[in-house]
């Protein structure tokens, strides 16, 4: 069970800092009485809105007087932070104590989840092993405490984000990331979203139990929801070192972060914040989190002022530009015959996740990409300035609006939740567990 669980309609900064101090005391009691080296593992800049950056800074300050404290943002294969981004997210933590995760050259393989287990847990959708390769700084340096700080929210691969996703994706190697993402894609994104224990999550839990039980770690899991003013507010903090810590946070997120609709939406307009989302690799959360709510023949308009590329890495960016988001059948046909897609299987999975299967339109209004670039990946283009002037998103709250005779549903932060019709959520093969 979690060591600490605190929830409420709007937890203040001081309440969360009090939980952080209590978590540190519990860690000294349960894990290491006198920690000398402490590692903090927060999310990257794409979770900046979660407040995990200033919570990480709080833990740094709690332990700084007694320990040598270091930070590794759990980037996965995302682009490393700039010094300015680290300062914006982590405050006064010294930059030389913030380290970059190298998902190719800075990992070591320590085992694998067998093809037999993957096949059984995915119902035969995937039939390959998932190698477990993790950050060498975590594995090879002596740590007295390892603290994961993360935001639990519906997620396209693992049902809900965070917990040991921090290890196996955030600090994982290329082999782990590509095998896990492709397995999840083969299970179907709409079967993963909002389920507490997806096939890949089960694989990661087994890997943690088998290979990481010796690490002195615990998890600080935060949940956010919109308050009465429409702003995102912290509503829960769950601290502990077991799967129940994740499940407590995920159940709360399931209750608070999933909007269930009686009828599908004909048009959704959403914003991917310009200081967090620079590629469709991450901005496509707008597609993932709304797809179960959009009507056949409907439209998703994504206002993305920060969008300047497609992939987080040059090789992935090149593949997205080459293949686009054409639908599962076309991606899988190419995957079976093209070495470049098998080598970057996580990119192939992303192409599947980002496709609408021809069911609805996606229009992107990017800050830094041309119409030709957007249309080249099988999306439609909209002019950002025109769309901002028409919809004025800074004046809208989540929900239905009539604008120039058009009925839209506005979502200010798609990455913070999941929207689905009752039928899509409850009648899918996996159910809503």
- Tens of pLDDT along the chain (433 residues) come to 999 999 999 999 999 999 999 999 999 999 999 999 999 999 998 888 899 999 999 999 999 999 999 999 999 988 899 999 999 999 999 999 999 999 999 999 999 999 999 999 999 999 999 999 999 999 999 999 999 999 999 999 999 999 999 999 999 999 999 999 999 999 999 999 999 999 999 999 999 999 999 999 999 999 999 888 888 999 999 999 999 999 999 999 999 999 999 999 999 999 999 998 999 999 999 999 999 999 999 999 999 999 999 998 899 999 999 999 999 999 999 999 999 999 999 899 999 999 999 999 999 999 999 999 999 999 999 999 999 999 999 999 999 999 999 999 999 999 999 999 999 998 876 544 4
Per-residue pLDDT tens over the stretch 23-78: 999 999 999 999 999 999 999 988 888 999 999 999 999 999 999 999 999 999 88
What is the distance between the alpha carbons of residues 22 and 4, in angstroms, rounded to a whole number?
A: 8
Domains, the chain, in order of start with CATH, read 4-257 (3.40.50.11440), 262-426 (3.90.226.30)
Q: Residue 246's pLDDT is what?
A: 97
Other Cβ atoms less than 10 A from the Cβ of 66: the count is: 12
Supply the DSSP string of 55-73, one letter for each residue: HHHHHHHHHHTTSEEEE--
Instruction: Please provide residue 157's backbone torsions phi and psi, each rounded to the nearest 5 degrees.
Output: -100, -45
Q: Cα–Cα distance between 239 and 247 in angstroms, integer?
A: 11
- Neighbouring-strand partners of residue 334: none
Tens-place pLDDT, residues 106-124: 999 999 999 999 999 999 9
Cut 0.75: pTM above it:
yes
> CA torsion sign, 123 to 414 to 204 to 219?
negative
Q: What is the DSSP string of 9-34?
A: SS--HHHHHHHHHHHHHHHHHHT-SS
What tokens does 138 get? 């975590």
Tokens standing for 269? 């307009």
């Amino acid at each position: 069970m979690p060591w600490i669980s605190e929830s409420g309609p709007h937890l203040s900064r001081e309440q969360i800092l009090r939980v952080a101090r209590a978590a540190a005391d519990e860690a000294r009691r349960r894990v290491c009485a006198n920690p000398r080296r402490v590692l903090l593992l927060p999310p990257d800049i794409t979770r900046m809105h979660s407040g995990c950056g200033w919570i990480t800074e709080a833990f740094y300050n709690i332990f700084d007087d007694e320990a040598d404290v270091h930070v590794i943002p759990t980037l996965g294969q995302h682009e490393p932070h700039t010094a300015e981004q680290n300062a914006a997210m982590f405050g006064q933590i010294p930059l030389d104590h913030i380290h970059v995760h190298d998902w190719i050259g800075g990992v070591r393989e320590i085992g694998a989840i067998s093809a037999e287990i993957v096949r059984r847990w995915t119902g035969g959708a995937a039939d390959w092993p998932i190698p477990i390769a993790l950050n060498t700084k975590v594995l090879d340096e002596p740590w007295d405490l390892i603290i994961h700080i993360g935001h639990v929210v519906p997620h396209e691969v693992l049902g809900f984000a965070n917990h040991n996703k921090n290890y196996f994706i955030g600090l994982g190697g290329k082999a782990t990331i590509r095998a896990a993402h492709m397995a999840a894609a083969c299970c179907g994104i709409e079967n993963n979203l909002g389920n507490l224990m997806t096939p890949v999550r089960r694989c990661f839990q087994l890997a943690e139990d088998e290979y990481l039980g010796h690490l002195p770690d615990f998890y600080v899991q935060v949940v956010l929801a919109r308050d009465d003013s429409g702003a995102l507010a912290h509503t829960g903090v769950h601290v502990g070192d077991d799967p129940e810590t994740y499940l407590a946070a995920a159940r709360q997120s399931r209750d608070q972060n999933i909007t269930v609709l009686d009828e599908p939406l004909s048009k959704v307009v959403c914003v991917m914040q310009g200081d967090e989302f620079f590629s469709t690799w991450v901005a496509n959360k707008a597609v993932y989190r709304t797809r179960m709510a959009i009507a056949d023949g409907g439209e998703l308009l994504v206002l993305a002022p920060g969008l300047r590329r497609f992939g987080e890495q040059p090789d992935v960016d090149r593949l997205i530009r080459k293949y686009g988001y054409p639908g599962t059948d076309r991606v899988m046909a190419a995957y079976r015959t093209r070495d470049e897609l098998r080598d970057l299987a996580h990119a192939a999975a992303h192409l599947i996740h980002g496709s609408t299967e021809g069911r609805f339109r996606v229009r992107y209004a990017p800050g830094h990409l041309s119409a030709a670039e957007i249309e080249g990946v099988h999306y439609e283009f909209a002019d950002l300035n025109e769309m901002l002037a028409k919809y004025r998103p800074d004046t809208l709250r989540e929900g239905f609006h009539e604008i120039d005779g058009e009925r839209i549903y506005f979502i200010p932060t798609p990455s913070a939740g999941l929207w689905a019709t009752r039928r899509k959520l409850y009648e899918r093969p996996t159910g809503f567990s």
